[in-house]
Structure 1
Amino acid sequence: MSSHHIVRDDQEPALIIANGAACNPELLGQLLEWSPIVVVLDSAIERVIALGIKVDVLLGDFDRDFDANYYKEIQYPIEIVHTPDQNKTDLEKAFDYLIERNIPAVNVVWATGRRADHTITNLTNIVRYRDLLKIVILDDHSKVFLLPPKFEKWYPKNTPISLIPIGHVSGIHSENLFYPLQGDSLTIGYRTGSSNHVAEDGIVRIEHENGDLLLMECMD
Protein backbone atom coordinates (compact mmCIF):
# COMPACT_ATOMS: atom_id res chain seq x y z
CA MET A 1 0.00 0.00 0.00
CA SER A 2 1.39 3.37 -0.98
CA SER A 3 1.69 5.59 2.08
CA HIS A 4 0.86 8.74 0.15
CA HIS A 5 -0.69 9.87 -3.08
CA ILE A 6 1.52 11.73 -5.56
CA VAL A 7 -0.78 13.85 -7.74
CA ARG A 8 -1.60 17.43 -6.84
CA ASP A 9 -4.05 18.56 -9.49
CA ASP A 10 -7.59 19.52 -8.57
CA GLN A 11 -8.76 18.31 -11.97
CA GLU A 12 -8.12 14.74 -10.86
CA PRO A 13 -10.86 13.10 -8.76
CA ALA A 14 -10.51 13.38 -5.02
CA LEU A 15 -10.86 10.24 -2.92
CA ILE A 16 -13.25 9.69 -0.03
CA ILE A 17 -12.75 6.67 2.23
CA ALA A 18 -15.98 5.85 4.06
CA ASN A 19 -16.45 3.08 6.65
CA GLY A 20 -18.08 0.17 4.84
CA ALA A 21 -16.43 -3.02 3.64
CA ALA A 22 -12.79 -2.61 2.63
CA CYS A 23 -11.89 -2.94 -1.04
CA ASN A 24 -8.95 -4.78 -2.58
CA PRO A 25 -5.66 -3.08 -1.59
CA GLU A 26 -4.68 -2.92 -5.27
CA LEU A 27 -7.79 -0.89 -6.14
CA LEU A 28 -7.26 1.41 -3.17
CA GLY A 29 -3.60 1.90 -4.09
CA GLN A 30 -4.46 2.85 -7.67
CA LEU A 31 -6.97 5.43 -6.51
CA LEU A 32 -4.62 6.87 -3.90
CA GLU A 33 -1.87 7.34 -6.47
CA TRP A 34 -3.99 9.64 -8.61
CA SER A 35 -5.99 11.52 -5.98
CA PRO A 36 -5.17 15.17 -5.24
CA ILE A 37 -6.86 15.00 -1.85
CA VAL A 38 -7.82 12.12 0.45
CA VAL A 39 -10.79 12.65 2.75
CA VAL A 40 -11.50 10.08 5.47
CA LEU A 41 -14.72 9.88 7.45
CA ASP A 42 -14.03 9.88 11.16
CA SER A 43 -15.45 6.41 11.79
CA ALA A 44 -12.85 4.90 9.42
CA ILE A 45 -9.72 6.74 10.54
CA GLU A 46 -8.20 3.96 12.65
CA ARG A 47 -8.64 1.42 9.82
CA VAL A 48 -7.02 3.85 7.38
CA ILE A 49 -4.09 4.65 9.65
CA ALA A 50 -3.44 0.93 10.10
CA LEU A 51 -2.90 0.71 6.30
CA GLY A 52 -0.25 3.43 6.37
CA ILE A 53 -2.27 5.88 4.27
CA LYS A 54 -1.52 9.61 4.43
CA VAL A 55 -4.77 11.50 5.06
CA ASP A 56 -5.38 15.11 4.00
CA VAL A 57 -8.76 15.70 5.63
CA LEU A 58 -10.47 13.97 8.55
CA LEU A 59 -14.16 14.84 8.55
CA GLY A 60 -17.14 13.97 10.71
CA ASP A 61 -19.26 14.77 13.72
CA PHE A 62 -16.73 13.13 16.08
CA ASP A 63 -19.49 11.78 18.30
CA ARG A 64 -17.08 9.63 20.27
CA ASP A 65 -13.96 10.25 22.35
CA PHE A 66 -11.81 12.23 19.95
CA ASP A 67 -8.32 13.64 20.41
CA ALA A 68 -7.63 16.06 17.57
CA ASN A 69 -4.04 16.63 18.67
CA TYR A 70 -3.29 12.91 18.36
CA TYR A 71 -4.28 12.83 14.69
CA LYS A 72 -2.59 16.15 13.98
CA GLU A 73 0.64 14.67 15.31
CA ILE A 74 0.61 11.30 13.54
CA GLN A 75 -0.87 12.59 10.27
CA TYR A 76 0.74 16.03 10.03
CA PRO A 77 -0.25 18.04 8.08
CA ILE A 78 -3.95 17.17 8.29
CA GLU A 79 -7.10 19.28 8.18
CA ILE A 80 -9.75 18.28 10.72
CA VAL A 81 -13.26 19.34 9.76
CA HIS A 82 -15.98 19.12 12.40
CA THR A 83 -19.41 18.66 10.79
CA PRO A 84 -22.01 18.21 13.55
CA ASP A 85 -25.12 18.52 11.31
CA GLN A 86 -27.19 15.41 12.08
CA ASN A 87 -29.47 15.99 9.07
CA LYS A 88 -26.79 14.73 6.70
CA THR A 89 -24.61 11.65 6.63
CA ASP A 90 -20.84 12.04 6.96
CA LEU A 91 -20.50 11.07 3.31
CA GLU A 92 -22.84 13.87 2.23
CA LYS A 93 -20.85 16.28 4.38
CA ALA A 94 -17.69 15.15 2.60
CA PHE A 95 -19.36 15.85 -0.75
CA ASP A 96 -20.29 19.33 0.49
CA TYR A 97 -16.70 19.93 1.59
CA LEU A 98 -15.33 19.06 -1.85
CA ILE A 99 -17.91 21.27 -3.56
CA GLU A 100 -16.81 24.18 -1.38
CA ARG A 101 -13.22 23.46 -2.47
CA ASN A 102 -14.33 23.59 -6.16
CA ILE A 103 -13.17 20.03 -6.73
CA PRO A 104 -15.25 18.69 -9.66
CA ALA A 105 -15.08 14.92 -9.16
CA VAL A 106 -14.59 12.26 -6.50
CA ASN A 107 -14.12 8.52 -6.21
CA VAL A 108 -15.58 6.88 -3.12
CA VAL A 109 -14.48 3.57 -1.59
CA TRP A 110 -15.60 1.62 1.48
CA ALA A 111 -19.14 2.96 0.94
CA THR A 112 -20.84 -0.41 0.35
CA GLY A 113 -21.03 -3.72 2.18
CA ARG A 114 -21.36 -4.12 5.93
CA ARG A 115 -24.71 -2.42 6.72
CA ALA A 116 -27.36 -2.56 4.00
CA ASP A 117 -28.99 0.71 5.12
CA HIS A 118 -25.71 2.58 4.71
CA THR A 119 -25.11 1.02 1.30
CA ILE A 120 -28.56 1.96 -0.01
CA THR A 121 -28.32 5.49 1.38
CA ASN A 122 -24.84 6.07 -0.04
CA LEU A 123 -25.83 4.89 -3.51
CA THR A 124 -29.11 6.77 -3.74
CA ASN A 125 -28.03 10.06 -2.16
CA ILE A 126 -25.63 10.86 -5.00
CA VAL A 127 -28.55 12.01 -7.15
CA ARG A 128 -28.88 15.27 -5.21
CA TYR A 129 -25.35 16.19 -6.31
CA ARG A 130 -26.05 15.69 -10.03
CA ASP A 131 -25.10 19.23 -11.06
CA LEU A 132 -22.50 19.85 -8.38
CA LEU A 133 -20.04 16.95 -8.24
CA LYS A 134 -19.20 13.93 -10.39
CA ILE A 135 -19.35 10.96 -8.02
CA VAL A 136 -18.17 7.40 -8.65
CA ILE A 137 -18.62 4.73 -5.95
CA LEU A 138 -16.32 1.72 -6.30
CA ASP A 139 -15.83 -1.61 -4.61
CA ASP A 140 -14.32 -4.94 -5.62
CA HIS A 141 -17.42 -5.90 -7.60
CA SER A 142 -18.87 -2.73 -9.09
CA LYS A 143 -18.42 0.82 -10.25
CA VAL A 144 -21.51 2.97 -9.80
CA PHE A 145 -22.29 6.44 -11.14
CA LEU A 146 -25.23 8.61 -12.15
CA LEU A 147 -25.90 8.82 -15.87
CA PRO A 148 -26.30 12.08 -17.75
CA PRO A 149 -29.28 12.27 -20.15
CA LYS A 150 -27.00 11.06 -22.95
CA PHE A 151 -24.15 8.63 -22.23
CA GLU A 152 -21.73 6.67 -24.36
CA LYS A 153 -18.66 4.59 -23.55
CA TRP A 154 -16.65 1.79 -25.15
CA TYR A 155 -16.96 -1.60 -23.44
CA PRO A 156 -15.75 -5.11 -24.27
CA LYS A 157 -18.34 -7.73 -25.17
CA ASN A 158 -20.20 -9.35 -22.24
CA THR A 159 -19.33 -6.61 -19.73
CA PRO A 160 -22.10 -6.89 -17.08
CA ILE A 161 -24.07 -3.65 -16.81
CA SER A 162 -27.05 -2.86 -14.62
CA LEU A 163 -29.31 0.18 -14.90
CA ILE A 164 -30.92 1.06 -11.57
CA PRO A 165 -33.56 3.80 -11.41
CA ILE A 166 -33.79 6.03 -8.36
CA GLY A 167 -37.54 6.35 -8.28
CA HIS A 168 -39.03 6.37 -11.79
CA VAL A 169 -37.07 6.87 -15.02
CA SER A 170 -38.76 7.15 -18.42
CA GLY A 171 -37.83 7.35 -22.09
CA ILE A 172 -34.81 5.04 -21.87
CA HIS A 173 -33.11 4.04 -25.11
CA SER A 174 -29.99 1.89 -25.45
CA GLU A 175 -27.62 0.68 -28.14
CA ASN A 176 -25.32 -2.36 -27.89
CA LEU A 177 -26.89 -3.89 -24.82
CA PHE A 178 -27.94 -7.55 -25.06
CA TYR A 179 -31.40 -6.65 -23.69
CA PRO A 180 -32.18 -3.40 -25.52
CA LEU A 181 -34.31 -0.63 -24.11
CA GLN A 182 -36.50 1.24 -26.59
CA GLY A 183 -38.41 4.03 -24.92
CA ASP A 184 -38.78 1.92 -21.78
CA SER A 185 -39.45 3.03 -18.22
CA LEU A 186 -37.86 1.63 -15.09
CA THR A 187 -39.13 2.01 -11.53
CA ILE A 188 -37.29 0.96 -8.40
CA GLY A 189 -39.12 -1.91 -6.70
CA TYR A 190 -41.06 -2.83 -9.83
CA ARG A 191 -38.79 -3.02 -12.86
CA THR A 192 -35.07 -2.37 -13.05
CA GLY A 193 -32.43 -2.96 -15.69
CA SER A 194 -30.19 -5.25 -13.67
CA SER A 195 -28.04 -8.05 -15.09
CA ASN A 196 -27.83 -6.74 -18.65
CA HIS A 197 -24.56 -6.97 -20.57
CA VAL A 198 -22.75 -5.55 -23.58
CA ALA A 199 -23.70 -7.28 -26.82
CA GLU A 200 -20.50 -6.66 -28.83
CA ASP A 201 -17.14 -4.93 -28.42
CA GLY A 202 -17.82 -1.25 -29.00
CA ILE A 203 -19.69 1.83 -27.91
CA VAL A 204 -22.67 1.50 -25.58
CA ARG A 205 -25.15 4.36 -25.80
CA ILE A 206 -27.82 5.03 -23.20
CA GLU A 207 -30.26 7.92 -23.19
CA HIS A 208 -33.13 8.75 -20.87
CA GLU A 209 -35.65 11.56 -20.88
CA ASN A 210 -36.68 11.93 -17.24
CA GLY A 211 -35.52 10.75 -13.83
CA ASP A 212 -32.31 9.65 -12.13
CA LEU A 213 -30.62 6.55 -13.51
CA LEU A 214 -27.59 4.80 -12.01
CA LEU A 215 -25.24 2.70 -14.11
CA MET A 216 -23.39 -0.14 -12.44
CA GLU A 217 -20.40 -1.66 -14.19
CA CYS A 218 -20.29 -5.07 -12.53
CA MET A 219 -17.40 -7.47 -12.07
CA ASP A 220 -18.46 -11.00 -11.16
Structure 2
Amino acid sequence: MRRVDWDFVPEAVVVGNGEFPVSALPLRMLDTASFTVCCDGAADRYLASGRVPDRIVGDGDSLSVENQKRYASIIRYNPDQETNDQTKAVNYLMEKGFRRIAIVGATGRREDHTLGNISLLMEYMRMGAEVRMYTDYGFFVPMKGDCRFFCRKGVQVSIFAFGTQGLRGEGLAYPLRDFTNWWQGTLNEATGEEFVIRGEGEYLVFINMPSVS
Protein backbone atom coordinates (compact mmCIF):
# COMPACT_ATOMS: atom_id res chain seq x y z
CA MET A 1 0.00 0.00 0.00
CA ARG A 2 1.37 3.40 -0.96
CA ARG A 3 1.61 6.10 1.68
CA VAL A 4 1.30 9.86 1.56
CA ASP A 5 3.02 11.74 4.37
CA TRP A 6 2.16 15.24 5.48
CA ASP A 7 5.70 16.41 4.77
CA PHE A 8 6.91 16.28 1.19
CA VAL A 9 10.43 17.13 0.10
CA PRO A 10 10.43 17.71 -3.67
CA GLU A 11 13.46 17.40 -5.90
CA ALA A 12 12.22 20.37 -7.94
CA VAL A 13 9.45 22.96 -7.98
CA VAL A 14 7.39 24.29 -10.91
CA VAL A 15 5.97 27.81 -10.61
CA GLY A 16 2.79 28.25 -12.63
CA ASN A 17 1.20 31.33 -14.14
CA GLY A 18 -1.73 31.57 -11.72
CA GLU A 19 -1.90 33.53 -8.48
CA PHE A 20 1.51 33.85 -6.88
CA PRO A 21 1.37 32.05 -3.50
CA VAL A 22 1.11 33.99 -0.26
CA SER A 23 0.68 31.29 2.40
CA ALA A 24 3.50 29.60 4.30
CA LEU A 25 3.43 26.13 2.77
CA PRO A 26 3.84 26.93 -0.95
CA LEU A 27 6.29 29.71 -0.13
CA ARG A 28 8.32 27.22 1.88
CA MET A 29 8.44 24.99 -1.19
CA LEU A 30 9.85 27.89 -3.21
CA ASP A 31 12.39 28.99 -0.65
CA THR A 32 13.77 25.52 0.12
CA ALA A 33 13.72 24.12 -3.43
CA SER A 34 17.01 22.87 -4.80
CA PHE A 35 15.84 23.47 -8.38
CA THR A 36 13.05 25.77 -9.58
CA VAL A 37 11.47 26.07 -13.01
CA CYS A 38 9.13 28.92 -13.91
CA CYS A 39 6.54 28.65 -16.62
CA ASP A 40 7.42 31.62 -18.79
CA GLY A 41 4.37 33.69 -17.84
CA ALA A 42 5.09 33.16 -14.15
CA ALA A 43 8.69 34.28 -14.35
CA ASP A 44 7.94 38.02 -14.30
CA ARG A 45 6.12 37.78 -10.95
CA TYR A 46 8.66 35.30 -9.57
CA LEU A 47 11.54 37.62 -10.45
CA ALA A 48 9.62 40.59 -9.04
CA SER A 49 9.47 38.75 -5.69
CA GLY A 50 13.27 38.88 -5.49
CA ARG A 51 13.82 35.25 -6.48
CA VAL A 52 15.63 33.92 -9.56
CA PRO A 53 14.64 30.52 -11.01
CA ASP A 54 17.09 27.94 -12.29
CA ARG A 55 15.17 27.70 -15.57
CA ILE A 56 12.33 29.44 -17.39
CA VAL A 57 10.44 27.05 -19.67
CA GLY A 58 7.65 27.73 -22.15
CA ASP A 59 6.76 29.01 -25.58
CA GLY A 60 7.90 32.54 -24.75
CA ASP A 61 4.61 34.25 -25.48
CA SER A 62 4.02 35.78 -22.05
CA LEU A 63 7.45 36.63 -20.64
CA SER A 64 8.36 40.32 -20.77
CA VAL A 65 10.83 41.35 -23.44
CA GLU A 66 13.09 42.82 -20.76
CA ASN A 67 13.32 39.53 -18.89
CA GLN A 68 13.70 37.54 -22.10
CA LYS A 69 16.86 39.52 -22.74
CA ARG A 70 18.14 39.68 -19.16
CA TYR A 71 17.64 35.97 -18.42
CA ALA A 72 18.24 34.52 -21.88
CA SER A 73 20.82 32.06 -20.52
CA ILE A 74 18.28 30.20 -18.38
CA ILE A 75 15.33 30.22 -20.82
CA ARG A 76 14.43 26.96 -22.57
CA TYR A 77 11.94 27.63 -25.35
CA ASN A 78 9.44 24.96 -26.33
CA PRO A 79 7.08 25.99 -29.15
CA ASP A 80 4.78 22.94 -28.83
CA GLN A 81 1.18 24.20 -28.91
CA GLU A 82 -0.29 20.81 -27.93
CA THR A 83 0.89 21.19 -24.32
CA ASN A 84 0.67 24.07 -21.86
CA ASP A 85 3.65 25.66 -20.13
CA GLN A 86 3.08 23.70 -16.92
CA THR A 87 3.44 20.43 -18.84
CA LYS A 88 6.47 21.77 -20.69
CA ALA A 89 8.08 22.50 -17.32
CA VAL A 90 7.25 19.06 -15.92
CA ASN A 91 8.53 17.37 -19.09
CA TYR A 92 11.76 19.35 -18.85
CA LEU A 93 12.29 18.25 -15.25
CA MET A 94 11.55 14.61 -15.99
CA GLU A 95 13.97 14.65 -18.92
CA LYS A 96 16.60 15.89 -16.44
CA GLY A 97 15.84 13.00 -14.09
CA PHE A 98 13.62 14.75 -11.53
CA ARG A 99 10.66 12.70 -10.30
CA ARG A 100 9.48 14.26 -7.00
CA ILE A 101 7.93 17.51 -8.19
CA ALA A 102 5.90 20.20 -6.42
CA ILE A 103 3.80 22.66 -8.42
CA VAL A 104 2.83 26.05 -6.96
CA GLY A 105 1.06 29.07 -8.41
CA ALA A 106 -1.01 26.96 -10.81
CA THR A 107 -4.48 28.02 -9.62
CA GLY A 108 -6.37 31.31 -9.71
CA ARG A 109 -6.68 34.10 -12.28
CA ARG A 110 -8.28 31.82 -14.90
CA GLU A 111 -10.76 29.14 -13.83
CA ASP A 112 -10.40 27.22 -17.10
CA HIS A 113 -6.61 27.14 -16.71
CA THR A 114 -7.01 26.13 -13.07
CA LEU A 115 -9.15 23.10 -13.95
CA GLY A 116 -6.82 22.14 -16.77
CA ASN A 117 -3.71 22.42 -14.58
CA ILE A 118 -5.27 20.32 -11.81
CA SER A 119 -6.47 17.61 -14.19
CA LEU A 120 -2.98 17.36 -15.69
CA LEU A 121 -1.73 15.93 -12.40
CA MET A 122 -3.21 12.61 -13.47
CA GLU A 123 -1.13 12.71 -16.67
CA TYR A 124 2.06 13.44 -14.75
CA MET A 125 1.41 10.48 -12.45
CA ARG A 126 1.02 8.24 -15.51
CA MET A 127 4.35 9.59 -16.78
CA GLY A 128 6.02 8.36 -13.59
CA ALA A 129 6.19 11.57 -11.57
CA GLU A 130 5.50 11.75 -7.85
CA VAL A 131 3.80 15.11 -7.94
CA ARG A 132 1.81 17.42 -5.70
CA MET A 133 0.17 20.75 -6.47
CA TYR A 134 0.20 23.26 -3.60
CA THR A 135 -2.25 26.14 -3.28
CA ASP A 136 -2.65 28.71 -0.52
CA TYR A 137 -5.17 26.36 1.10
CA GLY A 138 -3.78 22.84 0.79
CA PHE A 139 -2.50 20.40 -1.79
CA PHE A 140 -3.66 18.04 -4.54
CA VAL A 141 -2.07 14.62 -4.96
CA PRO A 142 -2.97 12.11 -7.71
CA MET A 143 -3.10 8.48 -6.61
CA LYS A 144 -3.88 5.01 -7.89
CA GLY A 145 -5.07 1.95 -5.96
CA ASP A 146 -4.92 1.56 -2.18
CA CYS A 147 -3.19 4.33 -0.25
CA ARG A 148 -2.66 5.36 3.37
CA PHE A 149 -2.57 9.10 4.13
CA PHE A 150 -0.95 10.57 7.23
CA CYS A 151 -2.40 13.92 8.25
CA ARG A 152 -3.79 15.89 11.16
CA LYS A 153 -7.06 14.99 12.82
CA GLY A 154 -9.98 17.05 11.57
CA VAL A 155 -8.50 18.19 8.25
CA GLN A 156 -10.96 18.35 5.38
CA VAL A 157 -10.38 15.91 2.54
CA SER A 158 -11.93 15.82 -0.93
CA ILE A 159 -11.67 12.82 -3.27
CA PHE A 160 -12.21 13.18 -7.02
CA ALA A 161 -12.70 9.86 -8.79
CA PHE A 162 -11.41 9.26 -12.32
CA GLY A 163 -13.36 6.12 -13.12
CA THR A 164 -12.32 4.48 -9.83
CA GLN A 165 -14.10 1.24 -9.01
CA GLY A 166 -14.76 -0.18 -5.54
CA LEU A 167 -13.93 3.11 -3.86
CA ARG A 168 -14.07 2.96 -0.07
CA GLY A 169 -12.35 4.61 2.86
CA GLU A 170 -11.24 4.11 6.44
CA GLY A 171 -10.69 6.89 8.98
CA LEU A 172 -12.99 9.34 7.20
CA ALA A 173 -16.15 10.92 8.58
CA TYR A 174 -18.27 9.93 5.57
CA PRO A 175 -18.27 6.70 3.55
CA LEU A 176 -16.89 6.56 0.01
CA ARG A 177 -18.56 4.89 -2.94
CA ASP A 178 -18.17 4.78 -6.70
CA PHE A 179 -18.78 8.46 -7.38
CA THR A 180 -20.27 9.54 -10.69
CA ASN A 181 -19.56 13.28 -10.31
CA TRP A 182 -16.67 15.25 -8.84
CA TRP A 183 -18.70 17.06 -6.17
CA GLN A 184 -19.82 13.80 -4.53
CA GLY A 185 -16.47 13.15 -2.84
CA THR A 186 -15.85 16.66 -1.53
CA LEU A 187 -15.85 17.95 2.07
CA ASN A 188 -14.98 14.74 3.87
CA GLU A 189 -12.92 14.83 7.07
CA ALA A 190 -10.15 12.80 8.68
CA THR A 191 -11.30 11.38 12.03
CA GLY A 192 -7.74 10.64 13.20
CA GLU A 193 -4.14 11.17 12.18
CA GLU A 194 -4.39 8.82 9.20
CA PHE A 195 -6.95 7.56 6.73
CA VAL A 196 -7.02 4.96 3.98
CA ILE A 197 -8.53 5.09 0.51
CA ARG A 198 -9.05 1.83 -1.34
CA GLY A 199 -10.15 1.24 -4.90
CA GLU A 200 -9.16 0.14 -8.36
CA GLY A 201 -8.10 2.92 -10.65
CA GLU A 202 -7.07 6.55 -10.33
CA TYR A 203 -8.31 9.33 -8.11
CA LEU A 204 -7.25 12.81 -7.02
CA VAL A 205 -7.15 13.87 -3.37
CA PHE A 206 -7.20 17.41 -2.00
CA ILE A 207 -6.14 17.92 1.63
CA ASN A 208 -7.18 21.27 3.01
CA MET A 209 -4.60 22.98 5.21
CA PRO A 210 -5.45 26.70 5.43
CA SER A 211 -3.75 27.29 8.78
CA VAL A 212 -0.51 25.40 8.14
CA SER A 213 2.64 27.37 9.01
TM-score (ref. length: structure 1): 0.83
Identity between Structure 1 and Structure 2 (%)? 27
Partner of 2:147: 151
CA drift at 1:25: 5.4
Partner of 2:69: 69
Q: Where in structure 2 are the equivalents of 1:46-125 lying within 5 Å?
A: 46-63=44-61, 66=65, 68-72=68-72, 79-125=74-120
Structure 1 residue corresponding to 2:194, chosen from 199, 203, 216: 203
Greater helix fraction, Structure 1 or Structure 2: 2
CA drift at 1:156: 2.5
Please, which runs of 5 or more residues in structure 1 have no aligned partner? 1-10, 73-77
Q: Counterparts of 2:180 and 2:56 in 1: how far apart (Å)?
A: 37
Q: Is 1:193 equivalent to 2:189 in the alignment?
A: no
Q: Which amino acid aligns with 2:184?
A: T
Q: Counterparts of 1:28 and 1:170 in 2: how far apart (Å)?
A: 32
Q: Which amino acid aligns with 1:176?
A: G
Q: Counterparts of 2:150 and 2:204 in 1: how far apart (Å)?
A: 17
SS in structure 2 at match of 1:177 = coil
TM-score (ref. length: structure 2): 0.86
Q: Counterparts of 1:38 and 1:114 in 2: how far apart (Å)?
A: 22
Contact 1:169 1:187 in 2 (8 A): no
CA drift at 1:55: 0.9
Q: Counterparts of 1:98 and 1:47 in 2: how far apart (Å)?
A: 21
Which of these two proteins has the greater Rg computed from alpha carbons? 1
Q: RMSD between aligned alpha carbons?
A: 1.9
Q: Is 1:214 equivalent to 2:201 in the alignment?
A: no
Q: Residue deviations 1:44-63, cap 9 Å, x none?
A: 11111111112100111012
* Higher relative contact order, structure no. (Cα contacts within 8 Å, ≥ 6 residues apart): 2
Q: Which amino acid aligns with 1:120?
A: L
Please, which runs of 5 or more residues in structure 2 have no aligned partner? 1-8
